[in-house]
Amino acid sequence: MAPLRVGLLGLGEVAQSIHLPVLADQRDRWSIAGVYDVSPSLVTLITSEYGAKAYDSAEALINSPDIDVVFVLSSDDTHSRFVRAAMQADKHILLEKPACLTVREIDELLALMPAYKKTLFVGYMRRYAPAYLAARDELPDHADITHVRIFDLISEGRHFLKKSQNVLYPDDIDPALLARGAKERDALIREVVGADAPADLVRAYRGLTALSSHHISAMRGLIGEPQGVVAAHRTNGGANTSVTFDYGHFACLYDAVVDDLGLFDAMIEVRSNTRRVRIIYDTPYIRSLPTRLEVTEAGPLGPVTKSFGPLYGDAFSNELETFHRHIQEGTQPLTDLADSRRDLALMAEIIGRMKESA
């Protein structure tokens, strides 16, 4: 099979540090054929580095007969519009999380799925990390789970990228475009949080969609669907979030803390009375940092811990390999639009609980 011709919409931080290098590494599967971004300097940089064609608009790239696969890596407020266009153009789609900002947008796209015959894959790379994949075979039986703990105690990507890679943060984007995008994004967020919601609730929802969506998706993929959200609280101006998910006979506690320490500490821990399974993530912004899996069991002499790793397989590389396999085989990804809808519905429920606790 000839390499699939990829067109990228959005050339920001994640595209430069992750997607473009991974696509280049997997040159037997993908060809970087076209790019579009609202920053002229980014377009110039990427076309010179990767030899891709520059398109004058997102629509021109999406509708080009020279593009097989569209990577939607643009700002969240554009996702629904670009995905709709790519579906109608009959392209395969990799959509960076969050798939959309509202359940309404997802439902409008799901209505198009019966006529769409290609592959749409939502990029939740933590579900494709080696430690996560290995953990599925190590979990206690669901009926035996007594507690689940998940946390993201992290700093934003720029803390790592500025010290490790030469990422271009452009200053030549039309201010009118930025203002319009911010207005559209705010309107979508306020569909969920409310027109008169305070700034910290808006920030909390942005954190849920931007950061917490990774672990909410991973949680569901690992231990199934929660019955609901018991409680949710926000602090530190909405930068910190605490959520308790109801799984009937056990609770899953999730904490997100974003600060400027320049540290990354992300983990999923599933416990029974005699077994603990712990998945440990490092920052994804430095490629091929290892994930780790620890399994601890009760023994006659005390707890015995078995470690898997460090596992250097790259979650983003695994993700793209999986996407390519689905395209080849015509199979349905686990991380699709319907799956992402469940994430967004939980986030809306979290916001409702935050309003109750205010």
pLDDT for the residue numbered 304:
94
Q: Residue 241 is inside which H or E element, if any?
A: strand 240-246
Among 97, 106, 105, residue whose Cα is nearest residue 341: 106
pLDDT for the residue numbered 31:
98
Q: And the tokens for 8? A: 């990228």
Q: Tell me the average pLDDT across 68-88.
A: 97
Rounded to two decimals, what is the model's pTM? Answer: 0.94
pLDDT for the residue numbered 70:
98
Helices (H), the chain: 13-14, 20-25, 40-50, 58-62, 79-88, 103-110, 130-135, 158-164, 175-193, 199-207, 213-223, 315-329, 337-357
For the chain, domains (ranges, CATH) are: 4-122+320-330 (3.40.50.720), 127-314+340-357 (3.30.360.10)
Report whether pLDDT(33) > 70: yes
pLDDT for the residue numbered 202:
96
Say if CB 333 and CB 121 are below 8 A apart: yes
pLDDT for the residue numbered 87:
98
CA dihedral 76, 32, 128, 289 (to 10 degrees): -100
Q: pLDDT higher for 262 or 27?
A: 27
Report whether pLDDT(121) > 80: yes
Q: What confidence tier does 310 reach under pLDDT thresholds 50, 70, 90?
A: confident
Q: What confidence tier does 39 reach under pLDDT thresholds 50, 70, 90?
A: very high
Question: Which residues, including other chains, have CB under 8 Å from residue 19's CB and lie 6 or more apart?
Answer: 8, 71, 73, 316
pLDDT for the residue numbered 192:
97
Q: Tell me the average pLDDT across 54-71.
A: 98
pLDDT for the residue numbered 299:
86
- pLDDT, tens only, 148-205: 999 999 887 777 777 778 889 999 999 999 999 999 999 999 999 999 999 999 999 9
Specify which residues 277 forms β-bridges with.
270, 295
Q: What confidence tier does 94 reach under pLDDT thresholds 50, 70, 90?
A: very high
Q: Within 10 Å of residue 98's Cβ, how many Cβ atoms?
A: 27
Report whether pLDDT(227) > 80: yes
pLDDT for the residue numbered 1:
75
CA atoms within 13 A on the CB side of 65: 0
pLDDT for the residue numbered 358:
64
pLDDT for the residue numbered 243:
98
Question: Which residues, including other chains, have CB under 8 Å from residue 329's CB and lie 6 or more apart?
Answer: none
pLDDT for the residue numbered 357:
77
Q: Tell me the average pLDDT across 233-248.
A: 96
Q: And the tokens for 336? A: 């699709």
Q: And the tokens for 103? A: 């359940």
Lowest mean pLDDT among 60-74, 220-234, 255-269: 255-269
Report whether pLDDT(320) > 90: yes
Say if CB 119 and CB 68 are below 8 A apart: no
Average pLDDT along the chain: 94
CA atoms within 13 A on the CB side of 2: 6
Q: Tell me the average pLDDT across 65-88.
A: 97
Q: What confidence tier does 282 reach under pLDDT thresholds 50, 70, 90?
A: confident
Percent of the chain with pLDDT over 90: 85
Q: Tell me the average pLDDT across 320-329.
A: 97
CA distances for 332 relative to 84, 113, 118, 200, 210, angstroms: 18, 12, 10, 37, 24
If DSSP codes are grouped into helix, strand and coil, which group holds residue 177? Answer: helix
